[in-house]
Amino acid sequence: MAQQVRIFDTTLRDGEQAPGFSLRPAEKLRLARQLDALGVDIIEAGFPIASPADAEAVYRIAQEVRRPTIACLARCHRADLEKAAEAIKPAEKGRIHTFIATSDLHLQVKLRMTREQCLDAAVEAVRYARHHTFDVQFSAEDATRSDLDFLCRVVEAVIKAGANTINLPDTVGYATPDEMQAFFTTIRTRVPHSDKVVFSTHCHDDLGLAVANSIAAVQGGAHQVECTINGIGERAGNASLEEIVMILKVRHERLPFTTNVETRELYPSSELLTRLTGQGVQVNKAIVGRNAFAHEAGIHQDGMMKDRRTYEIMRAEDVGAPWNPLVLGKHSGRHAVQQRCSELGLQLESGELLEVYRALMVIADERKIIADSDVVTVVSAVRSGPSPRTETVDPFDTPSGVPAGHHESGYGHGV
């Protein structure tokens, strides 16, 4: 039986901390409603001590978004915890997420405290939080660079103090997938009563491994994944929510885990975040990028027209994305040109197709992408009368001795 993985969305907290991604309370509330529609289990709505606006946003979200758990962040400081408790008070299901660094580097350089002081602060914070809500999450910042023996002591102590969820972040994106799986397996094995809590993973993308590390952590026993829409967040960002969800869905035979996410809301969620922040995603971004379901190469286009499964392992419709896969450019083949003309209501005679194709390839060399208006204009020109033959080499001209149709799929690379 497949195990369920909880999706903890931190777009409104860690994601919003990234330069250029700041949101006003009303914008946060709008995005929180979309995250609710998306089906995430936990929304980390903000860091109340950070600013009055952040505290207001958490409070409004807690008031108005009722299905998911509403969490907010607090350091292991009394003032932070008081603000957090106040902010989530209206929530149907509220969570205080308290954290402290556990690596020697952070303890010595940033916090200037001993391991024992860190341990005491963590336990006191969890106990205080439990007075205000049953649902308390503890995070050991920089966990993957912490001394393992000390980290196990901290985790054991906060479980005894009442933490329900234990998050072990790869705060600086330093770990590798094999390390992450072993890391979670080891801690769960060594810490008493670890089966009574939910272990969580929170991975950053400094080495481009956030998603891979998150999946490895799940394989090591983490049943909550902290992630963001479009992978936004500090520095290189967080693990991408849409990638994690679709990996678990597409490769279910290898990863027998499920989520509550409505995948058809993935693309709309990405689009809303882009509109609210003014920060777009790279065109080749997995799942939600403009080119994620687009094909220009002739070989790919030919395969797509015959059966989408040849070059697509998921459907654009599954993630709520528009599907218009045939992008006309210099790598396209005649089949794609004919298909686009047909879609535009332009039925070409066999003699017209080659002329139209040649003319469009001239445009493609100059503009890179051929627009529908270019197709209409070229077809009209071809039909209005003979045009001078261009010197453009047609990759579909059949050389002597080569069977007709040998190049029908174009020159685009198949790999």
Find, among 273, 261, 271, the residue nearest to 232 by Cα: 273
Q: What is the pLDDT of residue 407?
A: 33
Indicate the pairing of strand 94-101 with strand 69-75: parallel
CA-to-CA dists, residue 339 to 53, 222, 334, 356, 405, angstroms: 52, 47, 8, 12, 17
Q: What is the pLDDT of residue 356?
A: 87
For residue 396, is pLDDT > 90? no
Confidence tier at 402 by pLDDT (50, 70, 90): very low
How confident is the model over 350-379, as a mean pLDDT?
A: 82
Q: Where are the alpha helices (DSSP H) in 222-285?
A: 241-250, 266-277
The distance of Cα 141 from the centroid of its chain, to the nearest Å, equals 22
Q: Are 142 and 105 in contact (CB under 8 A)?
A: yes
State pLDDT tens for residues 252-274: 999 999 999 999 999 999 999 99
The three state secondary structure string of 329-390 is ECCCCHHHHHHHHHHCCCCCCHHHHHHHHHHHHHHHHHHCECCHHHHHHHHHHHHHCCCCCC
Find, among 287, 284, 288, 285, the residue nearest to 271 by Cα: 288
How confident is the model over 328-356, as a mean pLDDT?
A: 80
The helix-helix angle for 78-87 and 52-64 (nearest 10°) equals 40
Find, among 171, 167, 49, 184, the residue nearest to 105 by Cα: 171
Q: Which residues contact 89 (CB under 8 A, 6 or more apart)?
A: 59, 62
Least confident range from 48-57, 183-192, 293-302, 398-407: namely 398-407
Q: What is the pLDDT of residue 349?
A: 82
Higher-pLDDT residue of 371 and 138 is 138
Residues of the chain with CATH 3.20.20.70: 3-277
Higher-pLDDT residue of 24 and 362 is 24
Q: What is the pLDDT of residue 298?
A: 60
This model's pTM is above 0.95: no
Burial label, 391 (beta-carbon count in 10 A; 0-12, 13-18, 19+): exposed
How many residues are there in the chain? Answer: 415
For residue 415, is pLDDT > 90? no
Higher-pLDDT residue of 41 and 386 is 41
For residue 365, is pLDDT > 50? yes
Mean pLDDT over each residue of the chain, to the nearest integer: 89
State pLDDT tens for residues 193-224: 999 999 999 999 999 999 999 999 999 999 99
For residue 409, is pLDDT > 60? no
Q: What is the pLDDT of residue 350?
A: 73
Q: What is the pLDDT of residue 123?
A: 98
For residue 411, is pLDDT > 60? no
Q: What is the pLDDT of residue 404?
A: 37
Tell me the two tokens of residue 215: 């999946």
Tell me the two tokens of residue 232: 């936004």
Q: What is the pLDDT of residue 399?
A: 38
Judge: domain 3-277, CATH 3.20.20.70.
yes
State pLDDT tens for residues 71-122: 999 999 999 999 999 999 999 999 999 999 999 999 999 999 999 999 999 9
Q: What is the pLDDT of residue 296?
A: 56
Cα–Cα distance for residue pair 241/253, rounded to 1 Å = 20
Higher-pLDDT residue of 329 and 65 is 65
State pLDDT tens for residues 161-171: 999 999 999 99
Burial label, 79 (beta-carbon count in 10 A; 0-12, 13-18, 19+): exposed
Q: What is the pLDDT of residue 186?
A: 98
Confidence tier at 292 by pLDDT (50, 70, 90): confident
